[in-house]
Every structure is written in C-alpha cells, then in structure tokens.
Amino acid sequence: MTDEIAITGIRATGFHGVYEHERRDGQEFVADVVLGLSLRAAASTDDVTDTVHYGEVAEDVAAVLTGEPVNLIETLAQRIADIVLTRPLVERVTVTIHKPRAPIVVPFDDVTVTITRSRA
C-alpha cells in the first residue's frame, strides 16, 4: 500500500497538559493525520464510498482535541490514531500533534509528537 490521504492543520482548543493553568485556560492544539490505505478502488469507480471521508476524519480529530483532557500530547496522538484506525479502509495512520504554546521558557516555534500506528 502506497496511497495516502493527508489532513494537515486541524485546529481546536483543548485543555490538555500537566499544569493546572493549561487545564484551566486551555490552548490551541494542531493535528496532522496521514492515512495509509489503498485508493485504487476509489480512483477506478470515482465513488466516495470506496474511500475515506476526510471531512468526517477531521471532525473526529477535532473532537479528540476538544475532548477529555490528558496530561501528554503523546496520549492525545494515540487517541486520535485509535479512532482513525476504526475506519475499515485505513491500514496505517501517522498522527502529529503540535503544541505551539507549550509552557517552555526559551524561545521556540513549536513542539510536536508524531506516532505511526497500523491495524493489528
């Protein structure tokens, strides 16, 4: 399988983090997801039912970002991977979580965690 669907820059406010002010005030999180699947059938039939609805995937990702708070963005990435892998056509997913306002005292642009998971 060499085909992919990528959705980048999914933004939502979440209340994740280990510090009390992160949980109280919230902050923007950004997620990128890359779905690994075969797009051969969809390309052949031109039928949306033969692919993954990326709008629905984006909504699922945003729901995790705004959902139940976690301490670590590693956990957030895993939750997103678990949900994406419930879609029957998806064989692999790579999730990157960006935390551009992480509580770091030195100048920085972004903090990211990236995981790749495959269907068991």
How far is the C-alpha of 77 from the C-alpha of 31, rounded, in Å? 8
Short-list 82, 98, 94, CA closest to 14: 98
Contacts of 43 (CB under 8 A, 6+ apart): none
Token pair for residue 106? Answer: 């030195």
* Given the residues 16, 79, 98, 99, the one annotated as active site: 99
* Burial per residue of 25-41, b for 16 or more beta-carbon CB atoms within 10 angstroms, e otherwise: ebbebbbbbbbbbebee
Is there a catalytic annotation at residue 99? Answer: yes
**Which sequence positions are flagged as catalytic?**
99
